[in-house]
Structure 1
Amino acid sequence: MKTAVVQNIFNIDFRLLSVTILSIAFIMLSKSVTAQNHRSQPIKFEASNVKELQQELDLLEQETKFWGVVLITDGDQILLEEAFGLADRDKDIASTPQTAFNLASVGKLFTATTILKLAQNGTVSLDEPIGKWIDGLPNNYGQKVTIRHLLQMKSGWGDYMSESAYQNNPKDFRTVSDYVKLIRSIKPKVEPDTKMIYSNINYELLGAIIEVASGLSYEEAVNKNIWEPVDMISTGCFIHEPADSRATPYTKNSNGELVPAYDRMAYRCSPAGGAYSTVEDLYRYQRAVIDGKLLDERHTALLMNQFEEDQKNATRFGFAGGIEGANTWLRTNLKTDNTIIVLSNLDPPAAEHVLIGLKEWIQVTHEKSK
């Protein structure tokens, strides 16, 4: 392993985010993975310095509790950038800081940022009905639901991942249109703007709006508005198949053995998640957002404050993602300017527990240094 020793889309505490997202929301985990989440506990790091912290992470790697990459920064200074475990077990390829990992729902950040870019340019309005861009939606929801509702997950829809059409054939979903076709057959659970329901449907519909409004494919629009301007050269909407530059996602089968999870994933990423990226690309994205290089002041504040107008009280920025074989956590403390990015190619809560432990370790270390 190579070491460099030196560093929320919704303003939500990450412990709450863990419960809301990983336990309820953006994926339909198998019973075995869910049981594993309940049995395991967040990591408590006892290290007194970065070198000892690295050694504790090495132990997690040896116990196969964590494979992936960790990046910790203090402002622009890198405190730790380290890779652990294998990117491909069959080929015996070790992960490196340049290995790209499946981001799961962290890709929603790219969708939200692109929509806000279109809003900033006057192409879309956050409070216009989505029926302006998408037809055939059930229950007259095309006229009831706004773009802001989708961003806030207040559209009233549940998720599509429990639908048999998706569960039985996830590889059949290859374009945004494939998801929209399915969504047209799903009735909403509640009226719009009455309840937040974490649902991938909201972000698939945002992706459809991006395609119609921009005249580009979802991937082209995100590349134009985010990946290319930020120089995220290792990020993309890659096909979910083995590649030496990308970490193979590993899940546990019924015997507790690690096996590739490709057959449980869609064909490629979508507006709801599944892009691949590296810690360095994600850090560039975090800094571009925080420094106001992607969006103007108003739309940056919207991204950081639950898409509510006239709010600028965010204390943290980031997101989390988890599917079988992938767990991703990003967190920047806007008060201290500390960033933690943890990418893993193991089932949740591999990255979640490491990030929570690192967050607490940084806090304790900071307090001791006073």
Structure 2
Amino acid sequence: MRLAALLCALALPIGCATGGKTVQESVDALMRDYAGDGPGASVLVIQDGKPVVERAYGFADLEARTPATPRSNYRLASVSKQFTATAVLLLARDGKLGLDDPVRKWLPSLPAKAADAITIKHLLTHTSGLIDYEDLMAEDATEQVHDADVLRLLETQDRTYFAPGADYRYSNSGYALLALIVEKASGKRYADVLRERIFLPLGMDRTVAYEKGISEVADRAYGYSLIDGRWRRTDQSSTSAVLGDGGIYSSIDDLAKWDAAQYDDRLLDAQSRKLATTPWTKTDDPAIEYGYGWRITGETLWHSGETIGFRNVIVRYPQRRLTVMVLTNRDDPEPYRTALRIAELFLR
């Protein structure tokens, strides 16, 4: 055995990669676009339940010159959907709602012509055919909309894109309605349900469904976009206050606890976890199927999140006990392929 190979075999968990680099050095090379004097990223690799790479790059707040750290809290955007789905599954386990319940049982103001055949399961799997609420907003809208406003917009629509269950179309509208159903079924505010039923039990003490004027985000990473060659703060848009489809802020430190809960019964029982990760529907990409808040590609469970100023991804290889998270507070580059390349360092 060559000396380099022997050293790799005997190395600490961060191990060795190709070309004599440690895995950590290889991760740094893959994340070089985020290093330096710009908005940044936080990266976590968990293997066999242990963090083997935990790195941060660039700045969480350019104006204050605050570096990104593993404790920086990023707006998760659509990565939030797995938490909305989990809240629904917890209430289903409690007998407070049924996944086959008609949506109009909980939200009767939706037009019967459009929504009569839509179930909670259709919302979870993006097979409802609901009209995208973003397309119903005024083009010059500057005031932020909330989940309840999404319902009001959909109350004006007596049509769907297709018959419920007949096709797939990614739907932020559906997840906003799920947040409202969680409130109706629990009798509590959506943000409180997440805090009481998910975040606090898992020790995710700094994770929050953010509501301006009600909650705060500790160690907040602010979002930026590259405009005319300069990074401009683009932290909020008119849709940033909708919680069910993307309003959660969290860090890689807290999300490590979320990842651990996917392997045992501390939050969801085995049956509920299986429901969440079953490929219920094909999507518009032949390589991807969808569960409840999770995309499924081959052996991976994953979800990305993109909103103004943030791009994030979590990629899990549950059979290999491997997870890669990349959270960023910038509009570019897209982190999914980078996360896959990081995962490859551990899959050899």
Do the aligned partners of residues 225 and 188 (structure 1) sit closer, same or farther apart at CA in structure 2, a change above 3 Å counting?
same
Give runs of aligned pairs for residues 235-246 of structure 1, distance below 5 A. 235-239=207-211, 245-246=219-220
Between Structure 1 and Structure 2, the one with more helix by share is: 1
Shift of 1:89: 0.6
Equivalent of 1:200 in 165, 172, 177: 172
Q: Distance in 1 between matches of 2:203 and 2:142?
A: 31
Q: How does 1:99-248 map to 2 (within 5 A)?
A: 99-165=72-138, 167-169=139-141, 171-174=143-146, 176-186=147-157, 187-239=159-211, 245-248=219-222
Aligned length: 318
**Secondary structure of 1:335's match?**
helix
The 4+ residue runs of structure 1 with deviation greater than 6 A are 63-66, 240-244
SS of alignment partner, residue 216 of structure 1? coil
Please say if residues 71 and 82 of structure 1, whose CA atoms lie closer than 8 Å, have aligned partners that are also in contact. Answer: yes
**Cα deviations across residues 243-294 of structure 1 (Å, max 9, x unaligned)?**
66110100122x1321111342535351011210001211211211222321
Stretch deviating more after TM superposition (297-306 or 136-145): 136-145
Contact 1:314/1:334 (8 A) holds in 2: no
Is this contact kept in 1: 2:176–2:242, CA < 8 A? no
Q: How does 1:1-370 map onto structure 2 within 5 Å?
A: 6=13, 48-57=21-30, 59-62=32-35, 67-165=40-138, 167-169=139-141, 171-174=143-146, 176-186=147-157, 187-239=159-211, 245-253=219-227, 255-266=228-239, 268-306=241-279, 315-363=299-347, 366=348
Instruction: Output the CA distance in 2 between the equivalents of 1:46 and 1:162.
Output: 50
User: Displacement of 1:48 after TM fit?
Assistant: 3.8
CA RMSD, aligned part only?
A: 2.7
Query: Aligned partners of 1:231 and 1:287: how far apart in 2?
Result: 11
Q: CA deviation at 1:233?
A: 0.8
Unaligned runs of 5+ in 2: 1-11, 282-290, 292-296
| Secondary structure of the structure 2 residue equivalent to 1:293 | coil
SS at match of 2:225: strand
Distance in 2 separating the partners of 1:350 and 1:65: 16
Q: Which amino acid aligns with 2:88?
A: I
Q: Any idea what SS the aligned residue of 2:311 has? A: strand
- CA deviation after TM superposition for structure 1 residue 206, in Å: 0.8
Give the 3-state SS of the residue equivalent to 2:70 in structure 1. Answer: coil
Show structure 1 runs of 5+ residues with no match: 8-44
CA displacement 1:63-84 (0-9 Å, x = unmatched): 6797210001111222110110
For residues 119-154 of structure 1, the C-alpha deviation after alignment (integer angstroms, 9 at most, x for no partner) is: 111111111211110012135343210111111111
Supply the AA of the counterpart residue of 2:327.
Answer: L
Mapped partners of 2:80, 2:217: distance in 1: 20
**SS state at 1:116 partner:** helix
Q: Is the 8 A contact 2:183 2:190 kept in 1?
A: yes
- C-alpha distance in structure 1 between counterparts of 2:321 and 2:328, whole Å: 23
Q: Tell me if structure 1 keeps the 8 A contact 2:223–2:235.
A: yes
Shift of 1:94: 0.3
Deviation, structure 1 residue 307: 5.3
Counterparts of 1:271 and 1:99, CA distance in 2: 22
Q: Is the 8 A contact 2:74 2:328 kept in 1?
A: yes
SS at 1:211's partner residue? Answer: helix
Aligned partners of 1:105, 1:225: CA distance in 2, in Å?
Answer: 20
Alpha-carbon distance change, 278 to 269 in structure 1, aligned in 2, over 3 angstroms? farther
Provide the secondary structure at the position in 2 that maps to 1:69.
strand
Does structure 2 retain, via aligned residues, the 8 Å contact 1:237–1:269? no
AA aligned to 2:173 is: I
Deviations 1:192-250 (A, max 9, x none): 00001001011011111111110011101111221111111110022469966110100
Q: Amino acid of the residue matched to residue 184 of structure 1?
A: E
The Cα shift of 1:173 comes to 1.4
Change (3 A) 1:233 1:347: same
What whole-Å deviation, never above 9, does each CA across 1:138-195 have from its counterpart, x for those lacking one?
3534321011111111101242123333x53354313x21221112123311110000
Mean CA deviation greater in 209-218 or 183-192: 183-192
CA contact (8 A) 1:105 1:320 kept: yes
Q: Percent identity?
A: 27
Structure 1 residues 143 and 65, CA gap change in structure 2 (3 angstroms): same
Asked if the contact 2:131/2:160 (under 8 Å) is kept, the reply is yes
